[in-house]
Amino acid sequence: MELLIVAFGGGAGAISRFLLGAKIQHHWPSPPIPVAMLIVNILGSIGLGVFFGAMFEGIPIFEYHNPWFLLLGIGYFGAFTTFSTFSVEAITLLEQKKYPKAVYYIVLSIGGSLAGFVFGIYWFI
Protein backbone atom coordinates (compact mmCIF):
# COMPACT_ATOMS: atom_id res chain seq x y z
CA MET A 1 0.00 0.00 0.00
CA GLU A 2 2.85 2.38 0.80
CA LEU A 3 4.21 2.05 -2.75
CA LEU A 4 0.85 3.03 -4.22
CA ILE A 5 0.67 6.09 -1.99
CA VAL A 6 4.18 7.19 -3.02
CA ALA A 7 3.42 6.45 -6.68
CA PHE A 8 0.22 8.50 -6.63
CA GLY A 9 1.96 11.45 -4.97
CA GLY A 10 4.94 11.12 -7.31
CA GLY A 11 2.72 11.08 -10.37
CA ALA A 12 0.89 14.18 -9.22
CA GLY A 13 4.18 15.93 -8.41
CA ALA A 14 5.74 15.09 -11.77
CA ILE A 15 2.67 16.30 -13.64
CA SER A 16 2.61 19.49 -11.58
CA ARG A 17 6.31 20.09 -12.30
CA PHE A 18 5.77 19.57 -16.02
CA LEU A 19 2.75 21.89 -16.21
CA LEU A 20 4.33 24.67 -14.17
CA GLY A 21 7.64 24.38 -16.03
CA ALA A 22 5.84 24.51 -19.40
CA LYS A 23 3.82 27.55 -18.32
CA ILE A 24 6.96 29.38 -17.16
CA GLN A 25 8.80 28.51 -20.39
CA HIS A 26 5.83 29.69 -22.44
CA HIS A 27 5.92 33.09 -20.74
CA TRP A 28 9.73 33.28 -20.72
CA PRO A 29 11.00 31.24 -23.70
CA SER A 30 14.65 32.39 -23.68
CA PRO A 31 15.73 33.15 -20.12
CA PRO A 32 19.40 33.81 -19.35
CA ILE A 33 19.42 30.87 -16.92
CA PRO A 34 17.06 27.85 -16.62
CA VAL A 35 14.46 29.82 -14.68
CA ALA A 36 11.64 27.24 -14.92
CA MET A 37 13.42 24.60 -12.83
CA LEU A 38 14.82 27.29 -10.54
CA ILE A 39 11.29 28.44 -9.71
CA VAL A 40 9.93 24.90 -9.47
CA ASN A 41 12.69 23.79 -7.09
CA ILE A 42 12.36 26.83 -4.84
CA LEU A 43 8.56 26.55 -4.74
CA GLY A 44 8.84 22.83 -4.01
CA SER A 45 11.28 23.49 -1.18
CA ILE A 46 8.94 26.08 0.32
CA GLY A 47 6.04 23.64 -0.04
CA LEU A 48 7.94 20.79 1.61
CA GLY A 49 8.95 23.10 4.44
CA VAL A 50 5.36 24.26 4.93
CA PHE A 51 4.16 20.66 4.91
CA PHE A 52 6.78 19.53 7.45
CA GLY A 53 6.17 22.54 9.67
CA ALA A 54 2.38 22.26 9.60
CA MET A 55 2.18 18.47 9.86
CA PHE A 56 5.16 17.57 12.01
CA GLU A 57 6.30 20.87 13.55
CA GLY A 58 9.81 20.10 12.34
CA ILE A 59 11.76 17.77 10.12
CA PRO A 60 10.27 14.28 10.48
CA ILE A 61 12.49 11.29 11.07
CA PHE A 62 11.32 7.75 10.36
CA GLU A 63 7.79 8.71 9.32
CA TYR A 64 7.60 5.98 6.69
CA HIS A 65 4.44 4.65 8.30
CA ASN A 66 2.62 7.98 7.90
CA PRO A 67 0.55 8.03 4.68
CA TRP A 68 0.72 11.85 4.43
CA PHE A 69 4.51 11.76 4.64
CA LEU A 70 4.57 9.11 1.91
CA LEU A 71 2.05 10.92 -0.30
CA LEU A 72 3.35 14.49 -0.01
CA GLY A 73 6.82 14.40 1.56
CA ILE A 74 8.28 11.61 -0.54
CA GLY A 75 5.87 11.29 -3.46
CA TYR A 76 4.62 14.72 -4.41
CA PHE A 77 7.48 17.00 -3.39
CA GLY A 78 10.08 14.36 -4.28
CA ALA A 79 8.80 14.28 -7.86
CA PHE A 80 7.91 17.97 -8.08
CA THR A 81 11.44 19.12 -7.31
CA THR A 82 14.26 17.72 -9.38
CA PHE A 83 17.92 17.74 -8.53
CA SER A 84 18.75 15.75 -11.64
CA THR A 85 17.37 18.40 -14.02
CA PHE A 86 19.16 21.09 -12.03
CA SER A 87 22.40 19.11 -12.45
CA VAL A 88 21.95 18.72 -16.22
CA GLU A 89 21.20 22.42 -16.64
CA ALA A 90 24.14 23.51 -14.48
CA ILE A 91 26.56 21.24 -16.34
CA THR A 92 25.18 22.41 -19.69
CA LEU A 93 25.88 26.03 -18.76
CA LEU A 94 29.43 25.03 -17.73
CA GLU A 95 30.00 23.08 -20.95
CA GLN A 96 28.84 26.13 -22.92
CA LYS A 97 31.45 28.13 -20.98
CA LYS A 98 28.77 30.39 -19.54
CA TYR A 99 30.56 30.43 -16.21
CA PRO A 100 28.96 33.50 -14.59
CA LYS A 101 25.48 32.24 -15.51
CA ALA A 102 26.33 28.75 -14.24
CA VAL A 103 27.55 30.07 -10.90
CA TYR A 104 24.53 32.36 -10.63
CA TYR A 105 22.17 29.46 -11.41
CA ILE A 106 23.88 27.08 -8.97
CA VAL A 107 23.95 29.61 -6.12
CA LEU A 108 20.34 30.69 -6.70
CA SER A 109 19.12 27.10 -6.97
CA ILE A 110 20.84 25.74 -3.89
CA GLY A 111 20.60 28.90 -1.79
CA GLY A 112 17.03 29.62 -2.86
CA SER A 113 15.89 26.06 -2.20
CA LEU A 114 17.51 25.96 1.24
CA ALA A 115 16.16 29.39 2.15
CA GLY A 116 12.72 28.43 0.82
CA PHE A 117 12.64 25.27 2.92
CA VAL A 118 13.72 27.12 6.06
CA PHE A 119 11.12 29.84 5.40
CA GLY A 120 8.42 27.22 4.85
CA ILE A 121 9.16 25.08 7.87
CA TYR A 122 9.51 27.98 10.30
CA TRP A 123 6.30 29.53 9.03
CA PHE A 124 4.52 26.95 11.20
CA ILE A 125 6.93 26.28 14.05
User: What's the pTM?
Assistant: 0.93
Q: How many domains does the chain fold into?
A: 1
* Contacting residues for 94 by C-beta, under 8 A, at least 6 apart: 102
User: Annotation-wise, does 85 bind a ligand?
Assistant: no
**Which phi-psi region, left, alpha or beta, contains residue 108 (left: φ > 0; alpha: ψ -120 to 50)?**
alpha
Rounded Cα–Cα distance for residues 30 and 101 (Å) = 14
pLDDT in tens, 23-73: 999 999 999 999 999 999 999 999 999 999 999 999 998 899 999 999 999
Residue 76 lies in domain = 2-122
The three-state secondary structure class of 61 is: coil
Other Cβ atoms closer than 10 A to 22: 11
- Quick one: which of 47, 65, 68, 69 has its CA closest to 124? 47
User: Annotation-wise, does 81 bind a ligand?
Assistant: yes
